[in-house]
Amino acid sequence: MNVGSNWFNSLAESLQSYRRYIPAALTLWTGTSLSLAAAALVWHSENQRMQVQFDEQADRLNVTLQQSINHNLEVLYSLQAFYNASTEVSRQDFKQFVQPALSRHSAIYSVNWSVRVPAAQKAAYEAAIRAEGFPAFQIYERTRDQKPIEAKVRSEYFPIIYREALEEDNKLIGFDVASSPERKAALEKSVNTGKIAASAQIKLVSNNQPGLQVFLPVPRRTTSLDNSVKNRENLMGVIAGLFQITHMVDFSLESLNLDSINFYLYDNSATGKERFLVRYDSQAKQLIDNPKLEKPELTNVRGEICQNPSACTRLLNVADRQWMLLVLPGNGYNGLKTHQGSLAICAIGLLMAGSLTIYLLMSLERTAKVEQQVYDRTIQLKERTAELETALKKQETQFKLIQTEKMSSLGQLVAGVAHEINNPVNFISGNLIHTGEYTRNLLELVEIYQQQYPNPTPEVQDKQKEIELEFIIEDLPKILKSMNLGAERIRQIVLSLRNFSRLDESEMKSVDIHEGIDSTLMILESRLKPQADFPGIQVIKEYGDLPLVECFAGQLNQVFMNILTNAIDVLYDAQNQKNLLGQSFSNSPFLPTIMIRTELLNSNCVCVRISDNGTGMTENVKKRLFEPFFTTKPVGKGTGLGLSLGYQIVDKHQGSLRCVSAPGEGTEFSIEVPVRQQSQQSVSQVSTAVGVS
């Protein structure tokens, strides 16, 4: 009895001692259960969100690819509309229309125009094309080893007549598209249905990349809507676009973030191995068009994301063909990174609330200190930036004022010099006329004396020999003529100075642009002539028929002067480099050349293009070309304000100043100004505010 009682008392005491751990155990169990339950819910939510994100990415990829395809095909539709709206499209018209499209659409490899030539008209058509400037033209086809041969006898031909491509190859002119088995089916379908049609996958000859040929027929303007086989005689021709599949897809990837997303592109309209087009490897971040490297990850199709394979496929329409897009998750798509939220919730639920609170308080305090430091530093940087901008504007204003004073002084000097020189030149030129007449009279009188007195006295004969009378009679008219040419030359130089500066004209006037350019060249003529170790600069002028332009002539002449001076300096530097390298480094002599072309762009816009064959400039220099104080010349050779002021002058005339240049390819400046200013008053106000007279 005592033993049982003692055991019971001992057990009660033990339970009493562990009783204080019950709340801790319940707290641990509850906290762990709640943390695991929350983590499980978040895990499930993350899986659903991952599925939604995958579907969104697949849809976005599908839409982007379809837009890229439609965007490229739209070029062919635009060209078709151009043909329908034109009575005749020349080779130059075709080139001008297609070239901008090629520069904007990297997926377009080439655009061709093929006409339908019946067999009976083949010889006559070949003769007509030869007469256009293609003496060796003939309609041909290729053998299996790509050798050109004369086209076989067929009922009709579709030779390439116009062609514009990224890689120009005039040898393709005359190739019969209908002779190619890879293209014939799509061509026939397009011609028979009168609608756009695309070929199966083909390999481009130049780079062996996958491509496809798309055909779009163009009926004659008088044809009916029916363009069936029986009405093929009403077919004008076929527009053919050759597209690079990889470039078409790569253009779409630029706007997408496809981390851990792979996709495969198939042609459902093809069969067998021809179905595969291209695949994207997210790990290598590259497109793979080799069928041997296709290797689709079919295990992922049956995975958690693609439980239904149709959920990972999308369909694309390419002309009359249907492509299939297979989108698959890549390695690591459904990894631990995807479930970071649920794992974090589980970990946070097991931490002590007090430690988390202390950590947050410490983090907030540290963050507040960092933000305050960043704010203070930002204020300091803004103040310093404002000071630098103010200093830069002040310096720029000072340079503009100096330039204004220089131009004002130049105007006064030119006006004074022109007035002072014109008077004596007119006096000399006017008297030379009378002097010539007097000289002729005296020479006639001497001739009469010689006839009347053929035997002069010895004293007269000695004097004739002493003064060389016969030489004087022959040379005196030449001297007077040379003096007259010199006086006329002085008058032209004075006139060029006045035409160049025009600083005495404070209002906008209608002037001849060509006159200003010629005056500028007259002033720079000494730098254009040959000198020691310099062959001189050849100036080629191609002037168009321009109307009078309403402008501040002196300011525009200053722009011409700055651009031409820079071109001369560049050509001098290029010749100096040529002299240093020696003739052994170049087989062809260097001929410094400046070309000036003018043209009327439209009814209210003229363009002046000044180009040189110098060394060109890099992209970094072009970006800063019109910045104030930026110059590539040595210290003391330039202020860096010439092109900056020129840009402002052209802008004040409501025009534009652009530069096209590349290293080793020379430089071209294009100056576009309106023929009539829309608001002459506003331009005058701006001109006065800047201080350019």
Helices (H), 468-601: 469-501, 513-523, 525-528, 553-581
pLDDT digits (tens, 9 = 90+) for 171-228: 788 889 988 888 888 988 998 888 999 988 888 766 778 889 999 999 887 645 554 4
Q: How open is the CA angle 224-228-229, to the nearest 5 degrees?
A: 130
**166 pLDDT more than 80:** no
Per-residue DSSP letter, 538? E
Up-side HSE of residue 270: CA atoms within 13 Å toward CB?
Answer: 20
Give me the chain's average pLDDT, please. 78
- 540 in Cβ contact with 521 (< 8 Å): no
Six-digit token pair at 10? 């001992």
Tell me which amino acid residue 7 is. W
- DSSP labels, 237-265: EEEEEEEEHHHHHHHHHTT---TTEEEEE
Six-digit token pair at 38? 């929350």
- 500 in Cβ contact with 518 (< 8 Å): no
Q: What is the pLDDT, as a whole number, of residue 692? A: 34
Q: What share of the chain is helix, strand, coil (3-state, %, to 5)?
A: 55, 20, 25
β partners of residue 538: 593
Six-digit token pair at 487? 């006086």
- 311 in Cβ contact with 251 (< 8 Å): no
- 3-state secondary structure (DSSP) of residue 543: coil
pLDDT digits (tens, 9 = 90+) for 238-290: 999 999 888 888 877 777 777 778 888 888 888 877 888 888 887 778 888 77
- 549 in Cβ contact with 675 (< 8 Å): yes
Give which of 244, 163, 173, 240 is closest to 206, Cα–Cα: 244
pLDDT digits (tens, 9 = 90+) for 568-624: 888 888 888 777 666 544 556 778 999 999 999 998 999 999 999 988 888 888 888
Predicted TM-score (pTM) of this structure: 0.46
Start-to-end CA span in the chain (Å): 128
Six-digit token pair at 242? 């050759």
For the ranges 14-23, 307-316, 365-374, the lowest mean pLDDT is seen at: 14-23
Please tell me the distance from the alpha carbon of residue 243 to that of residue 186, in angstroms, as a whole number.
14
Please tell me the distance from the alpha carbon of residue 373 to that of residue 344, in angstroms, as a whole number.
31
Q: Taking residues 670-683, report their average pLDDT.
A: 74
Please tell me the distance from the alpha carbon of residue 269 to that of residue 142, in angstroms, as a whole number.
26
C-alpha distances (whole Å) from 606 to each of 490, 567, 677 are 32, 21, 12
Rg (CA), the chain: 42
Please tell me the distance from the alpha carbon of residue 543 to that of residue 598, in angstroms, as a whole number.
5
Six-digit token pair at 160? 């390439």
For the ranges 5-14, 34-43, 563-572, the lowest mean pLDDT is seen at: 5-14
Please tell me the distance from the alpha carbon of residue 293 to that of residue 221, in angstroms, as a whole number.
48
Residues of 339-373 as b/e, b for ≥16 C-beta within 10 angstroms?
A: beebeebbeebeeeeeeeeeeeeeeeeeeeeeeee
- 280 in Cβ contact with 246 (< 8 Å): no
**498 pLDDT more than 70:** no
Please tell me the distance from the alpha carbon of residue 693 to that of residue 680, in angstroms, as a whole number.
15
Please tell me the distance from the alpha carbon of residue 94 to that of residue 425, in angstroms, as a whole number.
57
Q: What is the pLDDT, as a whole number, of residue 18? A: 52
